[in-house]
Amino acid sequence: MESENLIEIFDTTFRDGTQGEGINLSIHDKLLITEKFDEFGIDIIEGGWPGSNPKDEEYFQKVKKLNLKNSKICAFGSTARAVDKVKEDVNLNALLKADTPYVSIFGKTWKFHSEKSLGLSAEQNEELIFNSVKYLKDNDRKVIFDAEHFFDGYKDDNEFAIKMLLAAEKAGAIVIALCDTNGGTLTNEIFEITKKVKDKIKIPLGIHAHNDSDLAVANSLIAVEAGVTHIQGTINGIGERCGNANLCSIIPNLIIKLKRKTKSNINLENLFSLSHYVSELMNLIPKNNVPFVGLSAFAHKGGIHVSSVIKDSKMYEHIEPKSVGNQQRVIVSDLSGQSNIRYKAKEIGIDLPNDKKFSQNFVNYIKSLEYEGFQFDGADASFELLLRQELEDIKPFFNITYAKVNAVFDDKGNNYSEAVLKVQVGEEIEHTAADGNGPVNALDNALRKALFRFFPQISMIYLVDYKVRVLGEKNGTEAKVRVLVGSSDGESNWSTVGVSTNIIEASVKALTDSINYRLYKFSKMRKKY
């Protein structure tokens, strides 16, 4: 009996997920992610719709060459177009040509939709579902029937909706997935309807929830409580409109909170890396404030919170971050207390004096800087520099003593920027100039040109992000700006901040911090070896 209650995880990132706005994956991307899904422990991967585009057809051919250990591949399509021409149906035969062990097809289970969209009577729609499922089953495919618009259909005409499910069951489907296609069904309705369906259908039931009411995860979990053993969703909840049920929230809730076992052995500690890997290949910026896998999911900013977390993290964390591959973070800001500073110092390997007066003075210093517009919860490198300078553990490797930027553009399309810098390194002053694609790029080029003779290792450093935030918008063009610069050397990433009423000066401060920070890290590595 226990094996019958194992939960099957069905991922539709490649199919339903890529229907989301701005989502696109190459065949190579899909193959790379497929291997990650397999390592993670996804049971079934819906690879796409072979009848709709050549790219999906190519994926199904190439995925056969992967040595998958856990995951099974599934092709997606719809019921046949005509009741009496199932064997000639282009879509169904494309599914067979994909040569996958599983196929999923959707059919109409809402009477209104069947009549309006397909122009079919109840009997014709029932026959269409039966014939389509049976044709695939007779060709040795394991058929998952997606009952499209099921919950809306059940509320409209439950007798019609159940008849369609029974047709799929009788034809040989192995799973019937109840779809909340419009995402408008409330959680209590999902539970009550699923329980009633469970009494009428003998084969396993699944849930396919959309997030239009922000309930897709809750609806998927309550469906499990009602007896469902097959869950469909996408990584990071991507999908059409408001997205699909987010497997990155469903899976940890399922395993940690509901204590349910999955068919494959889910590698839960890889959840964070999987989520961010998929975002990276999709060229999407991960959301920080999402549960379990967001950078802010276990981040603490308020001083009182941090003080409690240090004593016992259970006070403000509902699970251990490492159980999903994430980590606890403490943020330094104007809400910080001494606990934040001491925690952050320990995190970056700095031993603070036991003197509480030092911590309090540094807290007040940070708060005064934040009042001026600085922000350190997104600029850890600038914070570390400040702390080490306060402890007299570091001196700047260089200082910019003079900066001038010329920016020229005209109505003929000419656009030119040049930066002139005087940079002091020790007793020497390097006077350089460089042009660039805009004033900030010109500054960056001039600074690197000035420093390369002294620190050739800066060639490894490059900018990965540049953000400008206007502070005190009511001041208009006189307002301060905050510049956040993200940098990398290919192995590690760090962020720095600069603030000024002059965007060029703010950029110079952030760029200076960025290079000083990495030069300090380089020097520590040399001493170590």
Residue 299 has pLDDT above 80, yes or no: no
Bridge partner list, 430: 423
Residue 394 resides in a domain? no
Contact between residue 328 and residue 301 where contact means Cβ atoms under 8 Å apart: no
Give me the domain span that covers residue 526.
373-377+460-529
Total domains present in the chain: 3
Contact between residue 172 and residue 142 where contact means Cβ atoms under 8 Å apart: no
Last residue of a domain, one of 370, 391, 414: 370
Bridge partner list, 429: 424
Domain containing 479 — which CATH number? 3.30.160.340
**Which stretch of 113-122, 264-273, 358-367 has the lowest confidence by average pLDDT?**
358-367
Question: Which of the residue ranges 232-236, 286-290, 517-521 has the most confident prediction, judged by mean pLDDT?
Answer: 232-236
Residue 392 resides in a domain? no
| Distance linking the first and last C-alpha atoms of the chain | 59
For the stretch 67-100, pLDDT in tens is 999 999 999 999 998 888 899 999 999 999 999 9
Read off the pTM.
0.70
Q: What is the pLDDT of residue 492?
A: 81
- For 123, residues 6+ apart whose C-beta sits below 8 A from its C-beta are none
User: Residues 229, 263: one domain?
Assistant: yes
Q: Give residue 524's pLDDT band: very low, low, confident or very high (50, 70, 90).
A: confident
**Which stretch of 46-55, 161-170, 289-298, 470-479 has the lowest confidence by average pLDDT?**
470-479
For the packed helices 90-98 and 122-138, what is the interaxial angle rounded to 10 degrees? 30
Q: Across residues 181-210, what is the average pLDDT?
A: 98
Q: Across residues 424-435, what is the average pLDDT?
A: 94
Domain containing 172 — which CATH number? 3.20.20.70
For the packed helices 380-390 and 338-347, what is the interaxial angle rounded to 10 degrees? 100
Q: Across residues 457-463, what is the average pLDDT?
A: 89
Last residue of a domain, one of 370, 389, 418: 370
415-425 vs 399-409, strand pairing mode: antiparallel
Number of C-alpha atoms within 13 angstroms, CB side, residue 300? 25
User: Residues 255, 359: one domain?
Assistant: no
User: Residues 165, 21: one domain?
Assistant: yes
Q: What is the pLDDT of residue 337?
A: 53
Q: What is the pLDDT of residue 4?
A: 52
Q: Across residues 483-503, what is the average pLDDT?
A: 86
User: Residues 225, 341: one domain?
Assistant: no
For the stretch 334-347, pLDDT in tens is 444 555 566 666 66
Last residue of a domain, one of 326, 347, 370: 370
pLDDT top residue among 390 and 246? 246
pLDDT top residue among 158 and 4? 158
For the stretch 305-329, pLDDT in tens is 555 555 656 666 789 888 998 877 6
Q: What is the mean pLDDT of the chain?
A: 87
Residue 225 has pLDDT above 90, yes or no: yes
Q: What is the pLDDT of residue 172?
A: 98
Q: What is the pLDDT of residue 193?
A: 98
User: Residues 356, 492: one domain?
Assistant: no
User: Residues 307, 166: one domain?
Assistant: no
Residue 292 resides in a domain? no
Residue 227 has pLDDT above 60, yes or no: yes
User: Residues 67, 205: one domain?
Assistant: yes
For the stretch 197-212, pLDDT in tens is 999 999 999 999 999 9
Residue 258 resides in a domain? yes
Q: Classify the C-alpha dihedral 353-357-359-365 as positive or negative.
A: negative
Q: Give residue 360's pLDDT band: very low, low, confident or very high (50, 70, 90).
A: low
CA distances from 31 to 60, 61, 276 (A): 10, 11, 16
User: Residues 190, 313: one domain?
Assistant: no
Residue 474 has pLDDT above 70, yes or no: no
Q: What is the pLDDT of residue 38?
A: 97
Residue 242 resides in a domain? yes
What stretch of H or E contains 31? helix 27-40
Residue type, 419: A
Q: What is the pLDDT of residue 3?
A: 43
Residue type, 282: M
Q: What is the pLDDT of residue 363?
A: 66
CA distances from 90 to 50, 51, 101, 168 (A): 10, 7, 19, 20
Q: What is the DSSP string of 434-468?
A: EEESSHHHHHHHHHHHHHTTT-GGGGG-EEEEEEE
Residue 72 resides in a domain? yes
Residue 518 resides in a domain? yes
How far is 296 from 312, CA to CA, in rounded Å?
18
Q: What is the percent of the chain where pLDDT is above 90? A: 57
User: Residues 491, 365: one domain?
Assistant: no
Residue 296 has pLDDT above 90, yes or no: no
What stretch of H or E contains 202? none
Q: From the CB of residue 388, how many other CB atoms can be counted at a distance below 10 Å?
A: 17
User: Residues 190, 303: one domain?
Assistant: no
User: Residues 213, 351: one domain?
Assistant: no
User: Residues 276, 311: one domain?
Assistant: no
Nearest-10 Cα torsion for 148, 152, 155, 158: -10
Residue 294 resides in a domain? no
Contact between residue 14 and residue 25 where contact means Cβ atoms under 8 Å apart: yes
Task: Retrieve residue 522's tokens.
Answer: 């380089």
List the one residue out of 128, 127, 105, 108 whose CA is nearest residue 117: 108
How far is 15 from 239, CA to CA, in rounded Å?
9
Q: Where are the alpha helices (DSSP H) in 266-355?
A: 271-281, 303-311, 338-347
Q: Across residues 486-514, what is the average pLDDT?
A: 88
